[in-house]
Amino acid sequence: MTTDFTEELASRLIRYCKIDSQSDPDSPASPSTAIQLDMQRLLMAELEDIGATEITLTDYGTLLATLPSTAGDDAPTLGLLAHVDTAPQFAAAGVKPLLHKSYNGGDISFPDAPELTLSPENSPYLASKQGHDILTASGTTLLGADDKAGVAIIMTAARHLLANPQIKHGKIRLAFTPDEEIGRGVHPDLPRDLAADFAYTFDGGALGNIEYESFSADGAKVHIEGVSIHPGTAHGTLVNALHLAAKLLTLLPSSHSTPDTSQGREGFLMATDLTGNAANATLTFILRDFELAGLATKGALLQSAVNTIALTEPRARLSCEITPQYRNMRYWLENDMTPVTLAHAAARAIGLSPTSAPIRGGTDGSRLTELGVPCPNIFTGMQELHGPLEWISVQDMAVATEMCLKLTELAARPKETTPLPSPPNAISP
C-alpha cells in the first residue's frame, strides 16, 4: 500500500463501536430502533466534513451520499454499502473497544470477563495475525465490527478519494443501512434511491473472500394458545403452552439439521426465541438453505411438527407462519458475473488470491441483488461475530480499504467496455 490507513481505521472503528446501534427484530418501526439514527447522524456530519454531496437520510433510515465522478460520465455508477446496526443476539450497549497493539501471538484476555480467552488455538485465523493491531471489546459485549468495520473502511476510502481528486473513478454512491442483522436492511425503495449500476457490501470475513452465493432465508413464527386455569383446579383442564413448545423443540432435532450440526452447503432450521407463559407461547425460527427446494423442505418439516403437536392436544390452538427474508444472490449474479469478475481482478491487483466460497448467512447484497442491483460481498477481516470474542485486525481492514479503492478504479471503465474474463474458483450452481 502506498498509504497507511491503519491509524484512521482504528480511530473510526473505536468511535463507531462505542455507539449503541443494536437492531430489534420485534419492533415494527423502520428503522427498528431509534438509536441506529445516532450512528447515521454522526456519519452525516463526517460525510459533510470530507466533502461528500447529496447526503440524504431517508425516511426508512438509510443514509445515502455521493462521491462525484472524476472520470467523466461514461463510467458505471458504483454503490458501496455497509450496515450500521449490531446483532440483537448479544449485549451491545456500553461497548469498550480495546486495541491490542502488535499482537504477540498468544492468548488475549478480557478485563471485564477474566474467564474469557481469545486463543489462536481456537481461532486459527488469529494465529496468522502476529504483529497486527487487534481490536476486541472488553468481554461483556460484542465489539460491533459487524458491520462498523465495513462502515469505517468505506468512510476511509471515501475520505481518501475526495482528498485526492486526481484519482480517477466514476460516480460512487454510498449507502449505510439499518436493520441488516434482522433481515430488513434493504428497503424496497433503496434500489431506486441508490441508483447504482452495481454495488458491493463490505460485510465479509477473511482476506480475499468475495462472496456471491448466500443462503436463501425464511423466518417462521409458531404461536401456541393453551388453556389457562388456576393451577390448584387445573386437573384435566390446563393445557400448558410452554410444555407444548418444549415438545415441539424436542420433536424437531430428529428431522432437521441445526447450525451446530451443519456445515458447508448444508442448510438448517434453528429456534432463536421462545417467549410467553402457560397460556400463550411464541417460538421464532430461522430457516436456511442454499437451494429453494431445500428451504421449502425445512418449512414443510416445521409445519409437519406443528401439526403433530396439534394432534396430540386438540384443545390447544397452534399456527405456523413462514415469511420470506432473502434469497441466494447467486440466482441473479450467475447471469452476469461482471461485478464478481471485477472484484476478483481487484483482489489480484493488490496481491491477494481471491476465493468465492458460499457464505453461511446473508447480507444486504442478497436482497439488493434480488431487487435488481448486482451486489457481491467483500471481506473486512472481522471474526468471531455476534459474541464477546469478536475481533478484527486493523491491518486486515487496511487491505480491505485498498481493495475498495482498487474496485473504484476498475469500475471506472466505460460502460460499453468488454467484461473481464470469468474469475477463478467460481461456484458451480
402 a catalytic residue: no
- The secondary structure of residue 72, as a DSSP letter, is -
- Beta bridge mates, 282: 223, 275
Q: Map residue 214 onto helix, strand or coil.
A: strand
SS3 37: helix
Cβ atoms of 388 and 140 within 8 Å: the answer is yes
Contact between 67 and 52 under an 8 Å Cβ cutoff? The reply is yes
257 in Cβ contact with 292 (< 8 Å): no
Say if CB 302 and CB 220 are below 8 A apart. yes
* Residue 313 a catalytic site member: no
Burial 368-387 (b: 16+ CB within 10 A, else e): bbbbebbbbbbbbbbbbbbe
Q: Which of 102, 319, 287, 81 is nearest to 200 (CA)?
A: 81
Active site residue: 8, 20, 46, 85, which one? 85
Cα-based torsion angle of the residue sequence 206, 209, 214, 219 in order, rounded to the nearest 10 degrees:
20
Cβ neighbors of 205 (< 8 A, separation 6 or more) are: 379, 380, 381, 382, 383
Residues β-bridged to residue 326: 217
The pair phi, psi for residue 270, each rounded to 5°, is -130, 130
**Annotated active-site residue in 20, 133, 180, 289:** 180
Instruction: Point out the residues that are catalytic.
Output: 85, 180
